[in-house]
């Protein structure tokens, strides 16, 4: 498979502000930086993404993968995944679409201890509210990403189905 996106290391310049919780809650443990590097390399093999940043200054505990906007209708000005993974195997995978109208569409897949859902849960679109819905995810990070990307592919395909293409 062709290397689609470029991977930028920690020292890559900030290109856009992103609200980010940079704290590491004690119940999640430290960020798994080695796994984040592996996730970035894995995502870079997909044509879905134009740019992949590992632990950028605006999201120092995450991988941020910017979608190739050719997959979307013109009304979308940005779409990205922000992935945080911890040594405890907890994670947060946030997907966001930002529209030219100023609106957005967000959802998030989480695995972490909390007081609003089971450890594994999903915050549904369009605004990823808390509480979300309880979910069950695979154990292996590759399988989690496969599950998330498949759901997002369905979302992207629906844009074109709605357009009659």
pLDDT 10s digits, 93-120: 999 999 999 999 999 999 999 889 999 9
3-class DSSP state of 158: helix
With respect to residue 21, please indicate whether it lies within any of the assigned structural domains. no
Strand-pairing partners, residue 49, are 67
Question: Greater confidence, 132 or 27?
Answer: 132
With respect to residue 1, please indicate whether it lies within any of the assigned structural domains. no
With respect to residue 39, please indicate whether it lies within any of the assigned structural domains. yes
pLDDT surpassing 70 at residue 76: yes
Range of the domain at 73: 26-162
Q: Which of 66, 53, 61, 107 is nearest to 85 (CA)?
A: 61
Tokens of 135: 């979910």
């Amino acid at each position: 498979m062709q290397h689609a996106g470029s991977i930028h290391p920690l020292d890559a310049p900030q290109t856009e502000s992103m609200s980010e919780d940079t704290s590491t809650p004690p119940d999640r443990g430290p960020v798994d930086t080695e796994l984040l590097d592996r996730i970035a390399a894995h995502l870079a093999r997909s044509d879905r993404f134009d740019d992949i940043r590992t632990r950028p200054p605006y999201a120092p505990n995450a991988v941020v993968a910017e979608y190739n906007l050719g997959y979307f209708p013109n009304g979308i000005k940005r779409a990205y995944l922000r992935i945080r993974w911890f040594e405890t195997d907890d994670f947060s995978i946030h997907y966001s679409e930002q529209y030219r109208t100023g609106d957005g569409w967000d959802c998030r897949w989480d695995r972490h201890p909390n007081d609003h859902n089971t450890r594994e849960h999903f915050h549904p679109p369009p605004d990823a509210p808390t509480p979300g819905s309880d979910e069950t995810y695979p154990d292996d990070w590759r399988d989690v990403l496969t599950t998330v990307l498949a759901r997002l592919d369905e979302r992207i395909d629906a844009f074109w189905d709605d357009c009659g293409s």
